[in-house]
Amino acid sequence: MYRKCINYIEKWFSRGSRKPLIIRGARQVGKTTAVALAAEALGVELINLNMEDPHSFVTELSKNDPEVIFELIALKHGQTSLDPEKTLFFFDEAQECPAIIPFLRYCYEKAPQYRVILTGSLLEFVINAPDFSFPVGRVEFLYINPMTFDEYLRGIEQVPLADKLAEFNWDNLPSVALHDIYNEHLRNFVVVGGMPEAVKIYHQTQSWLEVARVKESILDTYYADFGKYHRYLKSDVVQQVFRKLSFSVSQKTIYAHLASGERNDTIKKALEALELAKVVVRCFHSAGNASPLGAEQKDNHFKTFFLDIGLLLTALGLQLDSIDSDLNNTAKGSVAEQFIAQHLMDDRELFQKPQLHYWQRQKQGATSEVDFLAVHQGKVIPIEVKSGASGRMRSLSVFIGSRKSAAGVAVRFLNNLPDEQTMLLNEGEEYRLVSLPHYLVEHWREWIL
């Protein structure tokens, strides 16, 4: 199954300046599969060491000698040694043996010839523990999210459609017929989502019942993990917060609405644990005056989104017949906003930590809000997802007109074919409004040039 991260791992393997690679992502987003497929593409031997299983080399980790460890691994596999040029060492479920993480420092300093990858489904809880010694500067990261719409199309063997998305431009617009085809696939993607197992089952069976079974199983796995998050954190509170979040996607998050009878600090810790597990993501308010957007973010002012749109629909109890032909009309626009949020999380280099920001201005008698903010060539771009009523355009105008860092262009996602308009600000200045169909979200930067 195609994943863009596979190509990244291949390039990392061949780089002379590489460091041990830590893959970060939620459970079942395809981390282990991506490593296996990359090793296959490279034609190298994959030594898969699941740290949930007992391994004799663990007792030797405290010696901080990689050569000893890799020799033990080779002997366990019936060999005297393993050629580092033809071998990929993969430590999976590393949270079960935290000592393997600081060991990466010595791989980098003493044995950089070995290609080492590490991951784990609940790895973030180990990495972020206050007393944990992390090998800062001695490792590099790869962040993996659920499959994007482009990856989904390739996963169901619609490669020509995926390739064509990158060919469209203002001189080569999609036809009405193609637009309808993409929207039909988009509607299916919203239900299937981007979890690799769900995509695989949909492609193999074309059965919505089987897709639903897979997604329910994934959600059940997440619920089963809640008790592992933190020994001082009540799993029933985490469950309650997780359930309530599905009904408040794209809305400003208010702790008191997420769990009844619980203190705000307890709810906050539950939400932060879900974020560490990467099953939800917070979109923070930013003043949006300049890049980076995080420099002006308010940590207590945020919206929350799900890891995956397909899982969100399962949590909401929605099926294909609930999805309107115009995505912005489904669940009051929250599903469309989840779709865009999920893809903006992937709008980055794969080694960069995913971030989401939006903007809101509270003024007596009038509230202005822009769904998302992004940065392009150092300038701040407002991104709107809702249907585009006049009030929403006022929010864009307020944002652009009050910020010198704004790029003079705004992006809006609609159900229509690509379109652009010149909009007037109150001061008589102009900005460019680029309207795109949702299925072009991965290519929005190309349309604002």
What CATH number has the domain bearing residue 10?
3.40.50.300
**Does residue 331 carry a pLDDT above 80?**
no
Regarding whether 322 and 189 lie in a shared domain, the answer is yes
Question: What is residue 100's predicted lDDT score, i.e. its pLDDT?
Answer: 96
The answer to the question of residue 214 being in a domain is yes
The answer to the question of residue 415 being in a domain is no
Calculate what percentage of the chain has a pLDDT beyond 70: 98
By the 10 Å C-beta count (0-12 exposed, 13-18 middle, 19+ buried), 176 is classed as: exposed
pLDDT in tens, 183-211: 999 999 999 999 999 999 999 999 999 99
Per-chain mean pLDDT for the chain: 93
Note down the domain range covering 198: 149-276+308-331
Question: What is residue 366's predicted lDDT score, i.e. its pLDDT?
Answer: 66
Burial per residue of 356-388, b for 16 or more beta-carbon CB atoms within 10 angstroms, e otherwise: bbbbbbeeeeeebbbbbbbbbeebbbbbbbbeb
Which residue among 143, 174, 197 closes a domain? 143
pLDDT in tens, 42-59: 999 999 999 999 999 999
Rounded to the nearest 5°, which phi and psi values hold at 177?
-65, -45
Question: How many Cβ atoms are within 10 Å of 167's Cβ, its own excluded?
Answer: 9
Regarding whether 159 and 267 lie in a shared domain, the answer is yes
**pTM of the entire structure?**
0.94
Regarding whether 202 and 99 lie in a shared domain, the answer is no
Which residue among 143, 171, 206 closes a domain? 143
Question: What is residue 91's predicted lDDT score, i.e. its pLDDT?
Answer: 98
Residue 56's alpha-carbon distances to 280, 378, 389, in angstroms, are: 36, 51, 64
List the one residue out of 196, 197, 198 whose CA is nearest residue 211.
198
Regarding whether 319 and 213 lie in a shared domain, the answer is yes
pLDDT bracket for residue 387 (50, 70, 90) = low
The answer to the question of residue 392 being in a domain is no
Regarding whether 262 and 247 lie in a shared domain, the answer is yes
Regarding whether 70 and 176 lie in a shared domain, the answer is no
Regarding whether 168 and 112 lie in a shared domain, the answer is no
Give the three-state DSSP class for 425. Answer: coil
Question: What is residue 403's predicted lDDT score, i.e. its pLDDT?
Answer: 82
Regarding whether 324 and 200 lie in a shared domain, the answer is yes
Question: What is residue 388's predicted lDDT score, i.e. its pLDDT?
Answer: 47
Helix 208-225 × helix 235-245 angle, to 10°: 140
The answer to the question of residue 372 being in a domain is no
The answer to the question of residue 223 being in a domain is yes
**Does residue 84 carry a pLDDT above 50?**
yes
Question: What is residue 364's predicted lDDT score, i.e. its pLDDT?
Answer: 67
The answer to the question of residue 61 being in a domain is yes
* Segment 152-165 mean pLDDT: 98
User: Using CA of residue 217, residue 219, residue 223, residue 228, what is the dihedral sign?
Assistant: positive
Question: What is residue 390's predicted lDDT score, i.e. its pLDDT?
Answer: 47
pLDDT bracket for residue 310 (50, 70, 90) = very high
Rounded Cα distance between 19 and 412, Å, is 40
List CB contacts of 128: < 8 A, sequence separation 6 or more: 276
**Does residue 243 carry a pLDDT above 90?**
yes
Which residue among 143, 178, 207 closes a domain? 143
The answer to the question of residue 72 being in a domain is yes
Regarding whether 159 and 96 lie in a shared domain, the answer is no
Question: What is residue 131's predicted lDDT score, i.e. its pLDDT?
Answer: 84
Q: How many folded domains does the chain comprise?
A: 2
Regarding whether 169 and 267 lie in a shared domain, the answer is yes
Cα-to-chain-centroid distance, residue 281 = 8
**Does residue 218 carry a pLDDT above 90?**
yes
Regarding whether 320 and 174 lie in a shared domain, the answer is yes
Rounded Cα distance between 217 and 134, Å, is 33
The answer to the question of residue 388 being in a domain is no
- 98-107, 212-221, 417-426: least confident range: 417-426
- Are 305 and 185 spatial neighbours (Cβ–Cβ below 8 Å)? no
Question: What is residue 206's predicted lDDT score, i.e. its pLDDT?
Answer: 95
Rounded Cα distance between 161 and 153, Å, is 7
Regarding whether 155 and 128 lie in a shared domain, the answer is no
